[in-house]
Structure 1
């Protein structure tokens, strides 16, 4: 059977076996899982430790306490508050920080997690910590990122999000959406809003649904609406740039202007200068190539700018250039698993994942998955195979 036929057969098989339940609970829909529809508690919710919510009076992702395993009037029983609890509140909601949460926050705001060692980010963190106590959506987003970072430190392979991560992520998103609906954005809201949007973008990227390469995109031929969901959220965040304007004079993020400048560095308009010869040949780039006539032009230039940088000098600024290049025809080719587009993403994962922790979490599963997919379905393409494990260029940018 040819590779194309094998791929089509796999698509047809998975389209029938992985179809989601139409009448499943809301929790399974939020977690993008197939619900078994067993009542009153489906197996996925019972295993995850949350109250199943076929009915509307039970909140989404509501934890069930370990002590009782029961919910009361649609809400989980609250644990006894600790003596050192701290409260965070705005005009509409509050959240009680226990000692565990305080510990995570201390590590989060004290370590400059998004850009380790960046003194500008340390300044930003101190201010965001103050704001988090007045804006619960920022507090929940911060806790979710801190918990995700802890998972990064304590797991060596892919691992699913914890219940705490899901809870704080969901709460932040729900509160943020409500905030956007309720009233216009005031000047004092802009910094906490941008901080929350940045945290949610990191969460979306660093939390793939799969734990193993065989379960991960692109090897699993899932619905295209699920693939590259982190690209959509990143674009959504940048769509609010002009509303929030992180570089305005009174913004706490103004000290990050050099990083933002790197993220928006203009790419060459023509040619293949600076792109490794092997990468240029793979992408069919030459001295007359432009973004108009070659779909890989911008992505290849973006990847080339980080490939030969020492890992210690690789920061979020140049890394984000590649994310910025995912649009138009190149994005379409990624979504349809074009082999050349996948190689560019593979090279970016291998390089960026060694320096940026939230990229590494996704790269742990998607990088091997891309390799496995290309080896299985494009094994006859020597130019593609040269960049994968055991290929002639495998060690050059490892």
Structure 2
């Protein structure tokens, strides 16, 4: 079959692989791997028994998974990239968001032309699958790590080159996916292994997921997700919420029990109380039904983890830890990628506070079994 493009007649290869046909590229028909599939990191599927766009692991030509500490061959992952077509898979919140679904579908189309976005999409799909399994064994599979690593390497390489307009949406989508992967993948499976119970010789490594979130936002002015031709422009309201002004004084909207815990009153400001912004942003989320909690609200609290409050968290200050604990408890019921980290860190915070601050009655009242537990958990 021939098609015309700008005065030239292009002939599609009759015996090329399906991957190249899906990506609308001319296949060189190389066997057993064509050059385009090799460079894209997928198994060439000129044979009918090989799935479309099946990722390969280094040096094997077949997917791998870690089981009982050993790398074992795994059956092909069937169309993992397409799992994001389901409304629940790449929904970042519990609330149905039509705009977000449309963005995800367009990103999937772009993934065929941008390997770093394809690898990021596969890694997030595999991470979401880990969330759905709900297993106590929360370790990342080798396949998940492979796609995460490949996406990071390829994106860093791409950022060292001039960025054209057509590259901006794939770059921003990949950066957002990497931020989710970093947050949802703590290096712990049990509370004892997790921060803050885990001994740490270097406090700068605590809350390391914040660096990835800040790194993503450093690309904002480069890619400008709200530019007129951006597919992310439909999310303008979400971005506006994420960056809405924070209160500058007083305790309006903060429950009295939380205000007392943080020593907040009408004269409190961000300058004289390190808990000020964290307490305000947490209160905005706590008053919502679980089904109404969105990524926009969660980002407000994450924004508050800076300066003196961030230092208090690293020092394992009991009040700062409790604010983070309450945020985990609320948001993890609605947002899957927060739930994956909260599985280990939320009970770790609770155990830490009970073990090392059991004399602090104000803090203990908010924990399970405390006087305020029914209202706050």
TM range (shorter): 0.7 to 0.9
Normalised to the residue count of structure 2, the TM-score between the two structures is 0.79
Is the aligned partner of 1:324 residue 2:303?
yes
User: Following TM superposition, by how much is the alpha carbon of 1:110 offset from its aligned partner in structure 2, in angstroms?
Assistant: 2.8
Closer, same or farther in 2 for the Cα pair 1:305/1:356, shift >3 Å?
A: same
Is the aligned partner of 1:107 residue 2:86?
no
Which residue matches 1:286?
265
Q: How many positions carry a matched residue from both structures?
A: 315
Bigger CA radius of gyration: 2
Which residue matches 1:21?
none
User: Following TM superposition, by how much is the alpha carbon of 1:227 offset from its aligned partner in structure 2, in angstroms?
Assistant: 1.3
Which residue matches 1:151?
130
Closer, same or farther in 2 for the Cα pair 1:260/1:79, shift >3 Å?
A: closer
Which residue matches 1:206?
184
SS at match of 2:375: coil
Closer, same or farther in 2 for the Cα pair 1:219/1:227, shift >3 Å?
A: same
**Match 2:103 to one of 124, 138, 147:** 124
User: Following TM superposition, by how much is the alpha carbon of 1:121 offset from its aligned partner in structure 2, in angstroms?
Assistant: 0.7
Q: Runs ≥4 in structure 1, deviation > 4 angstroms?
A: 78-82, 95-102
Name the CA distance, whole Å, in 1 between partners of 2:53 and 2:129: 23
1:374-389 equivalences under 5 Å are 374-389=353-368
Name the CA distance, whole Å, in 2 between partners of 1:247 and 1:184: 20
Name the CA distance, whole Å, in 2 between partners of 1:226 and 1:150: 27
**Match 1:194 to one of 162, 167, 172:** 172
1:23-62 equivalences under 5 Å are none
Is the aligned partner of 1:271 residue 2:245?
no
Name the CA distance, whole Å, in 2 between partners of 1:207 and 1:224: 19
Which residue matches 1:33?
none
User: Following TM superposition, by how much is the alpha carbon of 1:280 offset from its aligned partner in structure 2, in angstroms?
Assistant: 0.7
Normalised to the residue count of structure 1, the TM-score between the two structures is 0.75
Name the CA distance, whole Å, in 2 between partners of 1:88 and 1:195: 21
Unpaired segments ≥5 residues, structure 2: 1-41, 56-60, 64-73
Supply the RMSD in Å over aligned alpha carbons.
2.2
Closer, same or farther in 2 for the Cα pair 1:79/1:133, shift >3 Å?
A: closer
Which residue matches 1:23?
none
Closer, same or farther in 2 for the Cα pair 1:88/1:149, shift >3 Å?
A: closer
User: In 1, are the aligned partners of 2:116 and 2:155 still within 8 Å (CA)?
Assistant: yes
Name the CA distance, whole Å, in 2 between partners of 1:358 and 1:109: 18
Name the CA distance, whole Å, in 2 between partners of 1:141 and 1:110: 17
Is the aligned partner of 1:180 residue 2:180?
no
**Match 1:394 to one of 355, 373, 377:** 373
User: Following TM superposition, by how much is the alpha carbon of 1:85 offset from its aligned partner in structure 2, in angstroms?
Assistant: 4.1
User: Following TM superposition, by how much is the alpha carbon of 1:114 offset from its aligned partner in structure 2, in angstroms?
Assistant: 2.0
User: Following TM superposition, by how much is the alpha carbon of 1:88 offset from its aligned partner in structure 2, in angstroms?
Assistant: 9.7
User: In 1, are the aligned partners of 2:53 and 2:79 still within 8 Å (CA)?
Assistant: no
Is the aligned partner of 1:141 residue 2:120?
yes
